[in-house]
Structure 1
C-alpha cells in the first residue's frame, strides 16, 4: 500500500470512529507500528490530526488563524454567544476569554446590564467599550497575536488578585478523555488561572471543537461546571459530557 493510500485509510478511520489506534491499524494492514506512527507524525504536521499516546484524535479546526476561525460555525457561535450572555446577572464580576465565540458573548450582553467584565482580549474590551453600563477591566501582558489576547507572567499576576462570579472560557479542543485543550502552552496557563479565580467556569463549545484535541491541556472536564452548545447538536454527541456531570446549555 502506498503512503498516500495509508494516510487516506487512517483519515477514513478517524472520521468514522473519532480516533485511530496505531497498533490496530498496523495489524489490519500487516505493517509495522513504526510505519503507522510515521504516517501519524506526518499527518499531524499537516494539521490533519492530533497525535496522542497510542494513536490520534481529530485535530481542531479552531487552531487556524483568527480570520479563518471567524468563518467556522459562524451562526453557531452567535447562538452560543446569545445563550451565554443570558446567563449573566446584574452585579456580577465576569471573566470573559478571548476568541471569536467570546466576542459574540460580549456583543449580546443585555443593553441595561450592570456588571464588571474582566478580559485579557483587547478585541473583546473594544466591543464592550460600546456598552453603556458595563465596566471593563483589561488585563495587560504580552500580546499573543494568534488569539489577540494577553499572556505571560504579568497577566497571571493580575488575574491572581481577582475574584469573579463566572468565567466564560474559549478552547480549541473538547474531548471526554483528554479534557479541554488549546494550541499554546502560555494561553492554556492563562485560562487555568482565570478558571481558578472564578466561582463557576463555563466553556463555549461550538461544534467543531467537540471530540477534538489540541497540543496543550488546559484542564480535565471534571474541573469545569458546564458547556454552552448549539441547539441542534444530537444528544448522542453530548452524552459523554452529560455522563461527566456537566450542565449543558443549548443556544
Structure 2
C-alpha cells in the first residue's frame, strides 16, 4: 500500500504544478471568460451539476459506450482477418491507415446531415477515431508471436484454431488492453467533437452553448468532467488487465 502511494507521488506533484501554473496564468490574464481559474471551474461545475450529471454526462457516455463497443468488434475483426489472410492484410491495411487521414471535423457535419442530431451521428465519429488503434495494435500483437513457436505447435499436430486460442490470443491480450486504454480517450474526444458540431445534448454540446454565452468556467466545467470520466474508465480497464494478464510479471 505504501509503495502504491509512493508511486502516485510524481503524478500528484506534476498535477499540482500544472494547476498552480494554470492559476498563475489565469490571474495574469485576468479575463475569466477566456481563461478561468481552476477554482472558478470547480465552482461552476458544482453549480451546473444538475443538468451536467442528469442529462449531458449520460448522453455523452452513451455515445462513448456504443462507439467503443462497435470499435472493439470492428477492430478485432479486422485484426483477425488480416492475421488469417495475407491478401486481406495487403488489401485492408492501406485503407485502415487512409481512414485516419480524413479530417474528422469535416465528416462530423456530414454525419449530422445524414443521420440527424440523434445518437448515431456522434457514434460514427467516435468509431472513425477509435477503431484504428484497436485494429492495428491487436494485429501487431498477433504478429508478435514468434514463428518458431507456431512451427513447434504445428509439429505437435495443433490446428490453426488451437494455435490461435493457445498461442496468438494470449500473446495479443496485452496489446488489446493497451489499445483499449488508447481508444477510451479517443472515443471521448470523438463524442465531444460530434456533440460540438451538431447535437441537442451531451457535454460537447453544453460546452459549445456556454461558449456562446461567454461563460469561460462553464466551457471548462464539462471538459473537466470529460477528463475525469475518461481517467476513471482507463483506471477500470487497468484493473481488469491486472486480473486477466497474471503472467505479465513472470
TM-score band, normalised by shorter chain: under 0.3
Larger radius of gyration: 2
TM-score by length of 1: 0.22
**Greater percentage in helix:** 2
TM-score norm. by structure 2 comes to 0.22
- Structure ranking higher in strand proportion: 1
Greater RCO structure (CA 8 Å; 6+ sep)? 2
